[in-house]
């Protein structure tokens, strides 16, 4: 069962700010969400209806899962101190 990945324009801009190993690690984590949108260590965010987060070192990927159409939408990508604002 594979999910379709989509990045919001905001998330794409945030991801493009990273380079080298950090970019590769974040992109790899995003790609893995297609096969397992709820990997070990992911959490559903409190106070936000359908958003989940996955940790990649000090960075976070915020995303939504739509099981009916099997789609994962990446909403935010960034440092942990900035991504929840």
Per-residue pLDDT, 25: 97
**Mean pLDDT, 10 residues at a time, the chain of 85 residues:** 93 96 96 95 88 96 95 96 89
Residue 85 lies in a domain: no
Please give the pLDDT value at position 36.
94
CB of 5 within 8 A of CB of 31?
yes
42 inside domain: yes
Residue 56 lies in domain: 4-79
Beta bridge partners of 56: 59
Say what the pLDDT of residue 81 is.
94
Give the pLDDT confidence score for residue 49 in this predicted structure: 77
What domain count does the chain have? Answer: 1
CATH at 51: 3.30.2310.20
Q: What is the pTM of this model?
A: 0.93
């Amino acid at each position: 069962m594979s999910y379709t990945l989509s990045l919001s324009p905001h998330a794409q801009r945030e991801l493009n700010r990273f380079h080298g190993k950090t970019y590769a690690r974040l992109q790899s984590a995003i790609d893995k969400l297609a096969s397992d949108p709820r990997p070990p260590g992911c959490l559903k965010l409190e106070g936000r209806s359908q958003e989940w987060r996955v940790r990649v070192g000090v960075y976070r990927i915020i995303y939504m899962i739509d099981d009916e159409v099997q789609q994962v939408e990446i909403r935010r990508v960034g440092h942990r101190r900035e991504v929840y604002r």
